Chains A and B, each alone.
Chain A
Amino acid sequence: MTDDAIVIAPAAPLHRPAAADPNAVVPGGAALEFLCFTLGREEFGIDLHLVKQIVSPPPITFVPRTRSYFLGVISVRGSVVTLIDLRQLLGLDPAVRDKASRILLLNIDREPVGLMVDRVTQVRRVAPNDFETNPILEENPATAHVVGILRPNRSEQITVIDLRDIIEEALR
């Protein structure tokens, strides 16, 4: 079997215990780690530990008669993974697959799940202080799952969402 599922190396090591990294010592407590990706023009972040692996999309087998955010199933090293379009879950337009598209394989117990995102950007380590927890947002389906906003600098803004709830709901 050819391994088309290339694993991209994220910008920063995926897992590193905070204590082992001297840079991790930030004022205000342990650093938070987020995997960041884009959906459309917006950049989102999720808890890094929720992601097991990132792969390029292999051929997708559409499964008829399922809810529209189910893109189908894929085969990742012999195991069958349920593929979900995160855009649709968040009430955005359906995903359009291109070269930059990636699938985030999640670390959840229910079943093997992959999330299609437009582009993976980076892994961010931030001090809790730089994490705005009660943002005021305009109402949309995603708002309920927003847990905070990251502002790494003046021009950037990353919306941090709690994926666990969204996925739990989607799989139910």
Chain B
Amino acid sequence: MSKQHPKPHVAISEFLSEAQEIIEHLSNNLMQIDGDLKQRNEADAALINETFRNWHTLKGLASTFGAEALATLAHVEENRLDDIRMGRVALTPDILDHLFGSVDTVMQALVAINTAQDFGAAQHLLAPTPLAQGAAAEPSDALEALLPRTLIPGDIAEVLTEYEEHRLTANIEAGRAILKIHASFYIASLSTDLEAITAALKPVGEHITSLPSDEASHPDQMDIELLLALGRSRAELAEALTDYDVRIDTLIPENAWAMFATAVDATPLSEAGMSQLPAPSATASAASNAELDAVPAPTDNRQPPAAPAALRAPTDNGEKLMSLRSVSQTVRVDISKLDRLMNSVGELGLVRTAISRVSDELRVVAGRRDLAIELHRIVRGFERRLADIREGILEVRMVPVGQMFDRLSQIIRKESRKLGKEVQFVVSGAETEVDKLIIEELSDPLMHIIRNAIDHGIEFAADRQLTGKPEAGTIALTAYQKGNHVLIEVEDDGSGIDTERILEAAIAAGNLLPEQADALNERERLNLIFTPGITTSSELSVISGRGVGMDVVKTNISALGGIVEVQSEIGIGTKFTITMPVTLAITPALLVKVRDNIYAIPLNTVAEAMTLKPEDVRQIMNTETMTLRGQTLPLCRLDTYLNIPRDGAIPPGSRVIVAALGQRRLGLVVDALAGQQDVVIKPMGDSISRSGCFSGVTDIGNQQLALVLDTAAAIEEFFMSNDDLKPMMMG
């Protein structure tokens, strides 16, 4: 369960799986380009652009991981591809051969890195190979290069990227018609519809770009103009677009460039006005429609490449490739895709609720009982499968905390060496799984806590010896799951937190009046480290005092629905405990009713719910309380908390939701329970979330939204604003 040091190969395997994926893409793309060159004597511009991006990504990845030699190689190839895609260099079979060679080199390098588990292992393989022979750029006549651009209407030319413009001029030069395809899309399904139409256009021409149009036929719709360089006949285009309601305008007709060039030859350049051009208009398109249908796709008279780059079957290094493949059996998934899936699952949950309602209604219809029972059975089956899907998606989002622990251990080593302290790092529960998003958000707060521990907690070896402690200090990082929460503990055996000094600092910072100080117990004094303005860095610090106090740690953790607690004893050590929900994506919630409004309370913050008997309510000072299993439970009327209070005693029939976070418990009084539901929490706009009471909203069907109560914030505020409650705070 516990280990002393991080596995150095974690970073390497991460790197390899990513690099491998890129290289596979790259190799596939090159293969396709090779095929295109042989068949059509021309490569697909989109593919070349993608290949450029592949190298670019590889370069970024390599430099992130410090694989400098690889980054340099990728940089050289990236530049080469940039020249090719911008038309500065022609793509010849020789260059293609060279590109294939580079891919092979990178593959061998990856194998070497994998075998040696060391980035340095590939150094010798990656010496930049000069391009065999003169594929040097033939700088085309600048004027000539500029001219086809004059055909592009100014308003369009203005918005094109350099690359798009290059593709446009290249197509104009090749005599292709440039069409403006005007289509309306419903805003709701814009991206998928646009993707579909782009895919439909792919076989008939090159899609250069999509421009939003300021025309809109309907406020619900958005109009898009797609620029297409037509590679096939207009009949084929019409066929490809049969399913779409579009308007096609000819921006630049076929062979306009040739005609323009002739016109330029005949007249002084200054007079070669646009008027002599075949008018880029709908009339021209009508004429050319008829006439050009007969014209086949642009023909190319160039010779087929003399030495086509061979389809590269893995030969001698095939074996090595296999062994490399076996290291990465993983799929990298963008977490937003999982969010989208989770959203759909949430919506399916709404569908399920709707069906159940129908089934319930059916049950009371005479003579339909059998049908109702059947439907009920189906709903149950549906529900089970839905739960499976949900669990599956959640599982994919989960990653072991060990990855983060490894990163932290490196920081510990570095920081402790810098300070000349000896620190031993003990990890346990590294296999505990937490939502990826939580891990990401948690690593900064954890890093801060650990830096504090090294800086202020652990003493120098000489001091430790004096107190009879082992010379090397220990920082223990422990993770474990408890119900729906994951607990992460950071414990050091250092000097502990001197609460007297914290008190002084708090008074100095104006957070506390001297007369208040006496009323605080030891625990409350300790908790002062989480108040703003009291950075422990005010005491010593080279490392931890970077303008971030423990208050920020606390804020960050609360933002994730978590809570942080501290225990410390002078001379023995300090322990921070962070309690986090396992996942944020979808969470079971209790729906409650308060004054006709429905609110959702995440179930992972609820210990239990019960009916409140008015006779059980006792007033202590200004606070209503009840006794639950021998302990005093402070009560918070949710309507009062939400500023929609009601006078008088708690109405009979009210319910108490016992909210529990860490060691704090609070009874939330609501009017009624309105069921339980798995909810997908969506954020609200910044302005309206400033109330601070809610972590977001969730769809509860019929276009209704329910606010999701931020239980941690409610507990926090309740105890902070009720001074007389402080003794009860720890439950």
Contacts and interface: CB of A to CB of B under 8 A. Distances in A.
B703 A75 contact: yes
A61 interface: yes
A146 interface: no
A10 B687 contact: no
Interface in B681-730: 682-688, 690-694, 697, 699, 702-707
Nearest to A79: B682
B154 to A, nearest CB: 13
B332 interface: no
Interface stretch (B112-120, B159-167, B214-222, B628-636): B214-222
A28 interface: no
Contacts of A13: 216-217
Interface string A2-24: 10110101100111110010000
B192 interface: no
Given A58-B703, A63-B707, A15 B684 contact: no
A171 B686 contact: yes
A15 B213 CA distance: 9
A73 B691 contact: no
Interface residues of A, number: 41
Contacts of A59: 702-705
Interface string B343-363: 100010010000000000000
B706 A61 contact: yes
A74 interface: yes
A94 interface: no
Nearest to B694: A63
Which of B214, B643, B687 gathers the greatest number of chain A CB atoms within 10 Å? B687
Given A61-B704, A70-B687, A77-B188, A15 B214 contact: yes
Contacts of B643: 64-65
A20 B707 contact: no
Interface string B654-685: 00000000000000000000000000001111
A66 interface: yes
Nearest to A105: B219
A80 B215 contact: no
B682 A80 contact: yes
B685 A15 contact: no
Interface string A73-114: 111011011100000000000000000000000000011110
B706 A73 contact: no
A1 interface: yes
Nearest to B705: A61
B707 A7 contact: no
B366 interface: no
A53 B220 contact: yes
B597 interface: yes
A65 B702 contact: no
B404 to A, nearest CB: 31
B644 interface: yes
Nearest to A171: B687
A172 B685 CA distance: 11
Contacts of B597: 61-62
Contacts of A74: 703, 705
A66 B214 CA distance: 36
A6 to B, nearest CB: 10
A54 B597 CA distance: 26
A170 interface: yes
Interface residues of B, number: 36
Nearest to B686: A111
Contacts of B350: 1
B224 to A, nearest CB: 13
B642 interface: yes
Contact of B686 (A17, A58, A110): A110
B472 to A, nearest CB: 51
Nearest to B706: A61
Contact of A53 (B219, B694, B697, B703): B219
Interface string B285-310: 00000000000000000000000000
A80 B219 contact: no
A111 B704 contact: no
A73 B705 contact: yes
Which of B343, B643, B644, B705 gathers the greatest number of chain A CB atoms within 10 Å? B705
Contacts of A9: 218-219
A77 B216 CA distance: 19
A99 to B, nearest CB: 17
Given A16-B215, A64-B691, A73 B697 contact: yes
Given A1-B703, A59-B702, A64-B693, A7 B685 contact: no
Contact of B685 (A16, A17, A62, A113): A113
Nearest to A14: B219
Contacts of A73: 684-685, 688, 697, 705, 707
A50 B350 CA distance: 34
Contacts of A112: 685
Given A14-B219, A15-B214, A17-B215, A4 B703 contact: yes
A15 B216 contact: yes
Given A80-B684, A171-B686, A64 B216 contact: no
B686 A10 contact: no
B109 to A, nearest CB: 44
A110 B687 contact: yes
Contacts of A72: 688
The 8 closest A-B pairs by CB, nearest first: A111-B685, A64-B642, A65-B691, A82-B685, A171-B687, A61-B705, A7-B220, A15-B216
16 contacts: A15-B214, A20-B215, A59-B703, A61-B707, A63-B707, A64-B691, A65-B642, A65-B643, A65-B693, A66-B688, A66-B691, A70-B688, A74-B703, A77-B188, A171-B687, A172-B687
Given A63-B691, A64-B643, 20 more contacts: A1-B703, A9-B219, A14-B216, A58-B703, A59-B702, A59-B703, A59-B704, A63-B707, A65-B642, A65-B643, A65-B693, A70-B687, A75-B697, A77-B187, A77-B188, A80-B684, A81-B685, A82-B684, A111-B686, A171-B687
